[in-house]
Structure 1
Amino acid sequence: MIKEISLKNFKCFNELYLKQLKTLNIIAGKNNYGKTSILDAIFCFYDVKNPAVLLNIQAFRKEMAEINKNKPFWVSYFHDMDTSQKMS
């Protein structure tokens, strides 16, 4: 069971810390506020040894449209697409 989540430089989050998570948690909020990004982070954590996990997430959601043709798709997983900052 996940008891807490800590994200840094991941997608829309510069930093996020969720604590005291329970067996069942409801993630609610307005559109484009990061609910799906939290799920993406969890998927990446549980499949960390699979380099294709980000492609699988995009394919599952049919998000294969390129955000920026001059950058690799994985750049969109960094906060503000800033790859100079470490993601954790």
Structure 2
Amino acid sequence: MITSFSVEHFKAISSCELSNLKRINLFGGKNNTGKSTVIEALFFFLDRQNPQSFMRMHNWRGGMPTSMTSFDIFAPIFHNYDMSKPVKISVKEGADLEKLTLHSVEQNNTTIKINPKDISTLSGTNTKSLEHNQVEIAVDFSSPTKGKLSEQKIIHTIHDEENMDVKINKQTPIKSAIFLSSRSPINPNENAIRFGELVKKTKKI
């Protein structure tokens, strides 16, 4: 069970620390004060190995980015859209303290070779190559495993509007979590199935 949680430079949160957490925790406050953002930060911590993790956060807010640039996809995750300051998330479960750092990586301009016979299918294109940016965000994660510190590095890359991938140097066990967004379409039957699956997985741990 998570007993404490802290986050820095994540979306609207400059710094936040929660301690003495229990199995059930209630967060109250006015609109746009960061209640959902705290939950999003915790979910990203658990969902960091998913190639769609960043797009999920956009979808939960009821909108998708208008383009696939680094600013539109990644900058909203950083406090005040400042990608020069890393996001830091720490989660404590019992005596184990896990830490995650999210920071930007310089963009690499890549030239893609196009087959000449396909040029006509690209509107306004009359050259044999196209240049695009491979946008990368690095996630550094550390966790104590059997008394030793285990480190993981994850690189999220956006190649174009349809292709995103994740490179992971070391797989870690995936912990089960469900995020129910108030702005996403809700199907009671689907939610009941999700909670049922979560209960089954929890009993196996």
Same fold (TM over 0.5): yes
Which structure 1 segments of 5+ residues have no match? none
Match of 1:34 in 2: 34
SS of aligned partner of 2:62: coil
Listed as ranges, the gaps of 5+ residues in structure 2 are 89-205
Q: TM-score, normalised by structure 1?
A: 0.85
Q: How many residues align?
A: 86
Residues 1:64 and 2:64 are matched in the alignment: yes
Which is further off, 45-54 or 77-86?
45-54
Deviation of 1:70 (Å):
8.6
The structure carrying a bigger helix percent of its residues is 1
CA shift for structure 1 position 26: 0.3
Partner of 1:85: 85
Moved over 3 A (4+): none
Greater relative contact order (Cα < 8 A, sep 6+): 1
Structure-1 separation of matches of 2:3 and 2:63: 29
What is residue 21 of structure 2 aligned with on the other side?
21
- Report deviation, 1:54: 1.8
Q: Percent identity?
A: 31
Alpha-carbon distance between aligned partners in 1 of 2:76 and 2:21, rounded to the nearest angstrom: 27
The amino acid that maps onto 1:84 is: S
The alignment's TM-score, normalised by the length of structure 2, stands at 0.39
Give the structure 2 partner of residue 73 of structure 1: 73
